[in-house]
Amino acid sequence: MTPRTFSTRRVTSETTVTLTLNLDGTGRSTIQTGLPFYDHMLSALVRHARLDLDLTCTGDLHIDDHHTVEDVALTLGEALAAALGERRGVRRFGSAYAPLDEALARAVIDLSGRPWAEVDLGLRREHLGTVACENLGHALRSLAIAAKMTLHVDVLRGENDHHRAEAAFKAVALALRQAVALDGHADVPSTKGVLA
């Protein structure tokens, strides 16, 4: 089997992101974005998707968290798309529910090659740690667009915003784990013959 890995470096006037991604990992990660709560969400995503990820980002956090959150998600999505290649032999679809105490989230993924995201986290706080809550949904949308996948995420219930956000990232992880899994076939799982 060809290794499904990708390394990249994205440099802009706002951020510098360096990462190495392995789709067939064990859930190991080293993540440093300068935003501890975001690191926590990304670590949960990697752990439960069973990816391996080394990621560092130096961003303009003196302005706010937006550029760092967005550029990390875009770079991770681009790496995911590159590591998938033609998406040959993958299951393509994944769906999962993830609870965290009183919170319950649902995620559905199609590695369709057609970027689309519907994300409803229903967060009520302004921030979780130093991350604006609006940017957590934006991170998932940016990931989906850059990875060229369809993603639907809904938090179905929950009182605690930390629990709601973490359940959402874990549900995405579990759905992604299913979708990127190899199914033993060598074809592209599409009637079109292409998923790019």
pTM above 0.85, yes or no: yes
- Give domain status of residue 188, yes or no: no
Per-residue pLDDT for 193 more than 70? Answer: no
Q: What is the pLDDT of residue 53?
A: 98
Percent of the chain with pLDDT over 90: 89
In sequence order, the 6+-apart residues with CB closer than 8 A to the CB of 156 are 104, 105, 106
pLDDT in tens, 78-128: 999 999 998 888 999 999 999 999 999 999 999 999 999 999 999 999 999
In sequence order, the 6+-apart residues with CB closer than 8 A to the CB of 169 are 41, 42, 44, 45, 140
pLDDT in tens, 27-67: 999 999 999 999 999 999 999 999 999 999 999 999 999 99
Question: Which stretches within 35-160 are classed as H helix?
Answer: 36-49, 66-84, 133-147
Domain that holds residue 57: 5-180
Residue 150 is part of a domain; what is its CATH number? Answer: 3.30.230.40
